[in-house]
Structures are given as C-alpha cells and as structure tokens.
Structure 1
Amino acid sequence: MEKQESKYGFNNLAETWNGRLAMLGFVIGLATELLTGQGILSQLGLM
C-alpha cells in the first residue's frame, strides 16, 4: 500500500503555497505603496 498525504491541514504543499502567496501579497503591497505614495493603512482608511 502507498501512503497518501492529506490534502488538508498542515502539510508541505499547504505551507509552500502559503509562503508563495504571502510573498506575492508583500510585493503587491509594496508596489502599490510606491505607485500611490500612501501607506497600506492610509489606503484602507485606517490612518
């Protein structure tokens, strides 16, 4: 029998995608801040 890894919960695939999406969000946030001249919090109306 082959061992099948779960597709849900904490596993290597989920952690890899979590890291990739976090890096993508950081780069998009930084690019938006550079283009608009406003911080992320001020763009959201929190400051």
Structure 2
Amino acid sequence: MEDKGKLGFTAFAENWNGRLAMLGFLIGILTELLTGQGILSQLGLM
C-alpha cells in the first residue's frame, strides 16, 4: 500500500488552502465593518 503525503499541490492541500483563504477574507471584511477602517489603515500604511 502506498502512503500518500499531504504536502504539495494535492487536492487535500488545495481544499484547505481555499477554505482558509475564504475564512481570512471573511474575517477581513468583518473587521472592516466593525472598526470602520480598511486593512491598510489598521496597519498604519494609509
């Protein structure tokens, strides 16, 4: 039996990457709504 790794460009890794990206985007939008500032303003870049 071949033990498949879960590193690299696999379907497993890409699914988790997509899920975490969606979660990060949602958290960013909610943070902007709650603070009234964009991400660049919060980081002091604008």
RMSD: 1.0
Could you list the runs of 5+ residues in structure 1 that have no partner in the other structure?
A: none
The corresponding residue for 1:8 is: 7
Gaps of 5+ in 2: none
Equivalent residue number for residue 38 of structure 1: 37
* 1:15-40 superposed Cα distances (whole Å, 9 cap, x missing partner): 00000000000000000000000001
Q: Percent identity?
A: 72
Cα deviation for residue 4 of structure 1 reads 3.9
How far residue 8 of structure 1 moved from its aligned partner, in angstroms, is: 1.0
- Inter-partner Cα distance in structure 1 for 2:40 and 2:9: 30
TM-score of the aligned structures, taking structure 1 as reference length: 0.87
Residue-pair matches, total: 46
